[in-house]
Amino acid sequence: MPDIRRDEELESPVPPAVPVDVATSHFEAARERVHSLLATLPTPLGPDEVPNGHVRQHLTDAASTASDGLDEARTARTGLVALRDLRSAREHARYAAAGWSVVDRGRTDAPFREEHSRTVLAAREARQAHEYVGTDPVRAALVHARIETGLRRADQTDGAPRADSELLAVAEWGERAESAQAYLDNARHLGSQFEAALPADVGTLESVLADGAQTLLAAVRDRREALPPEGTAGDRTPGRMVLEDLRWEAESGTSSLSEAIGPASAVVDATGRLAQFRALERIGTRREADELARPTSAAAIRDIRRTARDALTAALESSARPELVRTILVDAGYKVMGADRHLSQHRGAVSVSALDRSVAGYWHATALARAAPPAARQAVQALKSG
């Protein structure tokens, strides 16, 4: 069988990225924020400081996770992954610091709730004022989709925390306030960095993105309507699994521009779904040709896994717009990672059917990777037409 690392060490073969250079100063500011929050905690945090062991463990774990996030950000494979790691580190550090502030200074959730409300308002104002500047529609779609997502997450207002103690409820409000601010900070930074690299007199591409999204979403609807009826449930073979998974993913998601976060996100989402429909067709053809029979040897499973990983690399290297293809390959990479995780859990002799989920994951990733370049070309053409 393939020699796969243990679960906790697994990573997606294709990390997410955004075609913007993140300033070193932005990373440094996030790291300093984490350090300053953790500095408010006594070290170590023991029973004298927080007698309740359950509460103390929550705060200690959060502080430890924040520190780990700093380390992970330093070795992140892309700037976007580093931003994600640092945002998570900020959230956990604020959770610990806010919880400790209840013990240390008797703070309540009121200031954290007010802080969160101010950030939500600022994010909504930023969404209303957002301009879809750019010169290249593809690059603009990728960058603005990340900004749209960040601003949407910054202005989300969830319900009350579900913590089982008043102290941890305050900690959650601190985490929520920090999370919203981190999303807003990152969205603003990506926007400013993107604009700084554009000509001074650049115009807006909002109508181009909206028209392209409409074209792509119409193609998605046509594909969905042309799907044959689902077959009756049969044996749970890996071929059947991947067919059902791809069909569900292709049929899910945004159906119209009004449902999308914004036009840029609609373009990216529709491109991914078109790739899923293409992948579904590939799997259907292979099943009809009886090419998806359950493998019967370890060597066959090694080959299936190697084919999936090679397909990811080939798709990224062969495309004229690899940055757009990457958005699809990230999902395919997670399928490989999930299949690896399932495979790594087995030791010794196992029934071949116990590996069906891994085999289905590798086939899923292969089909999606091979469908990514033509889907990206369709998206580029839609944006040109718009």
pLDDT in tens, 116-132: 999 999 999 999 999 99
Residue 43 is predicted with a pLDDT of 83
Note the pLDDT of residue 157: 80
Residue 5 has pLDDT above 70, yes or no: no
- Please list the residues that pair with 148 across neighbouring strands: none
CA–CA gap between residue 23 and residue 158 (Å, rounded): 31
* The pLDDT value given to residue 230: 78
Minimal CA–CA distance to 102: which of 46, 170, 43?
170
Packing angle, helices 137-154 and 206-225, rounded to 10: 90
pLDDT of residue 101: 97
Report domain extents, the chain: 21-196, 206-385
pLDDT for 352 equals 87
Whether residue 209 is predicted with pLDDT greater than 80 in this model: the reply is yes
Residue 182 pLDDT exceeds 70: yes
**pLDDT given at position 258:** 85
Residue with the larger pLDDT of the pair 351 and 86: 86
| Residue 273: C-alpha distances to residues 34, 104, 379 (Å) | 37, 51, 11
Q: Which of 237, 113, 125 is nearest to 184 (CA)?
A: 125
pLDDT in tens, 9-50: 677 899 999 999 999 999 999 999 999 999 999 988 999 999
Least-confidence region, from 124-133, 159-168, 269-278, 307-316: 159-168
Per-residue pLDDT, 207: 97
pLDDT for 233 equals: 64
Nearest to 15 by CA among 84, 71, 68: 84
pLDDT in tens, 191-201: 999 999 999 98
User: What whole-number distance in Å separates Cα of residue 175 and Cα of residue 116?
Assistant: 10
pLDDT of residue 160: 72
For residues 306-311, give the mean pLDDT. 97
pLDDT of amino acid 371:
98
